[in-house]
Amino acid sequence: MMKLRYLAIAFIFLAGCGGTDKTNDKPQTEIAPKQDNNRLLTEIAAKLPRTEEVTGFEKVSEDRLFDKDGLRDYFNSETDTLLKYGILGAGAADYKSTDSELQFSVDVLKFINQSRAFGAYALNRRPDMVFVDVGVQGYFDGGRLVFYDSVYQVRISGYSSTDASDSAALYLAKAVDRRIGGKSGFPVAITLMPDSAKIRNSEKYYPSGLLGVKFFSPAYTCDYDLGDSTTMLVFIPSGSPAELEQYKEFVTHSGNNIREARIADIVVYFYDDDRYGQVILTSRRGRLIGLVHPPDRETGLGLILRLWDNIDFYTKNVGK
């Protein structure tokens, strides 16, 4: 595993987080939709296939439905992480093959929005996994199939990883996805990440706590291979100049000096962070992009400017 050496930080105002969302200059606030538990649990239960929809399988359990207060009964110690990612509720049911001993548990988890669902899905995803075409994306992980689509994460589990069981799990996953209603696409912030040197399927989403400070959140990240190290590029949709000032104050109080420069209309800050090394932060029109511990200033600024170009292109041609 490559040593984590670089960390790029980009702060971008996005109008939302779905594949058709637009970019603007207003901070976005994530608010959990208000809905009563009965309606919520009915919606989740509707995503679990009936026996007649899955040829070769029989649904062998009642629906097990959990609102936020009941999640711990099913997810145990994972509950705190799921709540951090904005889970609203979950449902589960068991399915057994009618012509073999295969049996599966199907879990459907509903989140506040698509970014939160993506984040929970990607939390344990690794670039070296086997990926499958279901939902926006899915992967196999040691006898479990996980995918996400729209505001849902789905898990098919309870089997040994063989060709027959993987195929059956994928069949059930597609049945669930048909009930969800089709592919929604990756969050826009993920699609703006520059392609060159990107480590595919390394993207993640963190609802809070980037760099150990609460005001840098939520954050979309992606790893980059720069040879002997890994660069993590980060977008923060609710970022603002005020947050930059907070972070500059935080860094200064830690005994670090900040140097300021300009490239055209981009304000550039250089400083050393005791925890992450050299940092470059840039600011323009209420947006921030940065790079932590670059190999040199020229390389670091080059990556930053490529991201600025992607943002400008998207804003001009798509996010109007």
Query: Taking a C-beta distance cutoff of 8 angstroms, is the pair 299, 227 a contact?
Result: no
Assigned token pair, 220: 């979309």
Average pLDDT score over residue span 296-305: 83
Measured CA to CA, the distance from residue 276 to residue 49 in angstroms comes to 48
Q: Does domain 37-180 have CATH number 3.30.460?
A: no
Measured CA to CA, the distance from residue 124 to residue 183 in angstroms comes to 21
Contacts of 288 (CB under 8 A, 6+ apart): 9, 10, 11, 12, 236, 239, 241, 243, 244, 281, 282
pLDDT of residue 213: 66
pLDDT of residue 290: 76
Peptide bond into 218 cis (omega under 30): yes
Cα-flanking dihedrals φ and ψ of residue 191, to 5°?
-70, -20
Q: Quick check: 121 pLDDT over 60?
A: yes
Share of the chain above pLDDT 90, in %: 46
Higher-confidence residue of 155 and 297: namely 155
Delimit the CATH 3.40.1000 region(s) of the chain: 4-21+187-317, 37-180
- 296: pLDDT confidence band, cut at 50, 70 and 90? confident
Query: Taking a C-beta distance cutoff of 8 angstroms, is the pair 225, 199 a contact?
Result: yes
Q: Quick check: 6 pLDDT over 50?
A: no
- 1: pLDDT confidence band, cut at 50, 70 and 90? very low
Query: Taking a C-beta distance cutoff of 8 angstroms, is the pair 295, 226 a contact?
Result: yes
- CATH fold of 4-21+187-317: Protein Transport Mog1p; Chain A (3.40.1000)
- 226: pLDDT confidence band, cut at 50, 70 and 90? confident
Dihedral sign (CA 274, 275, 280, 282): negative
pLDDT of residue 4: 39
Q: Which range is least confidently modeled, 10-24, 25-39, 232-246, 298-312?
A: 10-24
Query: Taking a C-beta distance cutoff of 8 angstroms, is the pair 190, 203 a contact?
Result: yes
